[in-house]
Structure 1
Amino acid sequence: MEFYHLKSFVAVAKAQNLTKAAKELHTTPPAVSAHIKALEQELNVTLFERTSKGMLLTPQGIALREKAQNTLNSAHDFIQSASLTDAALTGHLKIGLNLSSRVLNCQDLLMQMQSEFPNISLELSSSNSSQILSDIEAGKLDGGYTFDQSGSEFLAKFIANRNITTVMPKVWVNSQQSEFELLENGTWIGMGTSCPFDNELVSRLPKAKISHYSSYDELTRIELVSQGFGASFVDESDLVGLPESVHQTSIIDFDLPLFFVVSARRQKEPLIQALLNQVALQTE
């Protein structure tokens, strides 16, 4: 019995279609069909019923599918474990940042990765949580910091709860209106579509107006606030060195859980495992 026979069996069981399974396996439908036939002959069972609706598992096929998947998983884990013992692990990782690298304390992670895996290069890419999750799912990012752990397609490591506070132009402040009224009636600088910050704003101040200006970079938003373009949510750690023209208020502060997220289907890859191990060390 060959492993590629089992791979074809599992792929067809999942897709219920030879063409789709072949595409997933980067081969041809006749090749997949031959693998299934060889496996059926060796096991002396019929694994699939060929119907107008596709390739449907027989009772024998259903009974053997999970065992086949477990066998493939064990082989994959063995290979990945062997790869991780290689001190010369080489590759490139692209990480999404939803906050500044200073706030996320990326310096420690970068230094530790450089020390443990000198042949792995790291690229940092700033964005908002929603876009980071989308890029991880699409394979454009290898991992990232987000305020959302989303669904089962992701593996999330809890980092910390972050306190989110509010900054607004100091020229707004007056004795006629409370800070809450100023924020409710004023214009807000957004972070982008589906960003948790913008979602919190709609939830807490449904009457607030989001301006045409938005930025996922916190320092850029603070600069826009200082120029009078509107108010903004920022991480509390970014209050260091606020411009004189910016006023901070805690009246609608809230916490958001911060996670480090990777694709669940990639969690056993050597580069991803190396990254997750170092992220875990930073949170201990």
Structure 2
Amino acid sequence: MEIYQLRTFVTVAQQGHLTQAAEQLHLSQPAVTAQIKALEEEVGMPLFERTAGGVTLTRAGQELLPQAQGILAGARDLINHARGLKGQLSGKAQIGVTLTPDLLRIGPWVSALTQRYPLLDLRLHHRVTGDVLNLVRKKELDGGFYLGKNPYVNVNTVLLAQLPFRIALPTAWAGKVDFGQPRDLGKLPWVGISQFSSISKITAELWRELNIAPKKVAECDHLDAIRELVIAGVGLALVREEEALALEAAGRVVLVPGLVKLAELQFVHPSDRGGDPILQALLTELAHCWQMSVPQG
């Protein structure tokens, strides 16, 4: 029995699908299938059964999964301890960045990391929020900032803040809406948001809450561009409250009074990186910047 076979077993169990597990492990599906088959032959019983939507654990698989996870955790602890024996923290960290740097407190965070860990090779990559989460899930990023709810069991999250958003509409449209009747908002066009942006999911949640299904125009995935499209009279959109209030004060948009939509700003990282010294350094300095207790990787 090999460590890589156990890693494949755990990944397939988490994903519930051979193709998705293969994608995360950077293997072909036949290779994943072969590893699972070899492991099943070694333990002498089937670990998965196929379903219409993928695979599920057999009773034996359910019994063995916690032990497999424990063995993998022990292997990670051994590697992390060995790295610690080498002395000063070094290595590469690929981080996904979204929204705006000031909102994420990127400057103070990176400054603290580079001063305390001069051998740490920190790489920042700007992405749409949905891309950040997906790349962390596939372990192509070591961590990143994400806006919204995390649906993946193999991704851990650290809640940084609850960001308020407001519904902004062009100033010329104020007379077209009865703010006492929120369903009137469904009669006007909204700026379309790319499905890869978390704002799309947050907007969809708001529509369900208001029981509306507006027409979408001019799809976009950039927050600054969305704001400009509202100002230009293209449609309504959610805008971060701080920016929305400033635009309203300048007479550039009108805000729907009393309606606030909260979105979770989180730092996300792969769940199997527990104890990794680089991840722990990232989380420690992040906690200092956000004045919160230090989360454990």
TM-score by length of 1: 0.71
Measure the CA separation in 2 of the matches of 1:126 and 1:62. 37
**Aligned positions, number:** 252
Which 5+ residue runs of structure 1 have no aligned equivalent?
Answer: 37-45, 55-60
In the alignment, which of 219, 224, 229 is matched to residue 213 of structure 1?
219
Question: Per-residue deviation at 1:169?
Answer: 0.7
| Residue 221 of structure 1, CA deviation | 1.1
Q: How does 1:224-239 map to 2 (within 5 A)?
A: 224-239=229-244
Cα offset, 1:156, TM superposition: 0.8
- Residues 50-103 of structure 1: per-residue CA shift (max 9 Å, x gap): 89x99xxxxxx9999866763553242132134256424131422232x32222
Letter in 2 for 1:172: W
Residues 156 and 259, structure 1, Cα contact 8 Å, conserved in 2: yes
Tell me the distance in 2 between the aligned counterparts of 1:77 and 1:251.
Answer: 50
Matched residue, 2:265: 258
Contact kept? 2:6, 2:72, Cα under 8 Å: no
Which has the greater radius of gyration?
1
**Which residue pairs with 1:149 in the alignment?**
150
The 2-side partners of 1:269 and 1:72 are apart by 13
Q: Are residues 273 and 213 of structure 1, via their aligned partners in 2, closer, same or farther at CA, if it must alter by over 3 Å?
A: same
Residues 170/87 of structure 1: CA separation in 2 closer, same or farther (3 Å cut)? same
C-alpha distance in 1 between matches for 2:96 and 2:151: 17
Over the matched positions of the two proteins, sequence identity in percent amounts to 18
Please list the CA deviations of residues 186-220 of structure 1 after superposition, one character each: whole Å capped at 9, or x if unmatched.
Answer: 111133217322322431252322213222x3222
Q: Does 1:277 align with 2:284?
A: yes
| Range with bigger deviation, 236-245 or 201-210 | 236-245
Deviations 1:108-135 (A, max 9, x none): 222222222233223141313x333222
Deviation at 1:6, TM superposition (A): 5.0
Note the residue ranges of structure 2 that are not aligned, 5 or more in a row.
13-21, 50-60, 293-297
- Alpha-carbon distance between aligned partners in 2 of 1:84 and 1:47, rounded to the nearest angstrom: 35
Q: Give the secondary-structure state (helix, strand or coil) at the position aligned to 2:226.
A: helix
2:163 and 2:262 in contact (8 A); partners too: yes
Aligned partner of 1:198 in structure 2 is: 203
* 1:124-148: CA deviation from partner (whole Å, max 9, x where unpaired): 41313x3332222123332222211
Residue 73 of structure 1 is matched in structure 2 by 73
1:7 and 1:107 map into 2 onto residues whose CA distance is 39
* Distance in 2 separating the partners of 1:63 and 1:201: 41
- RMSD in angstroms over aligned alpha carbons? 3.9
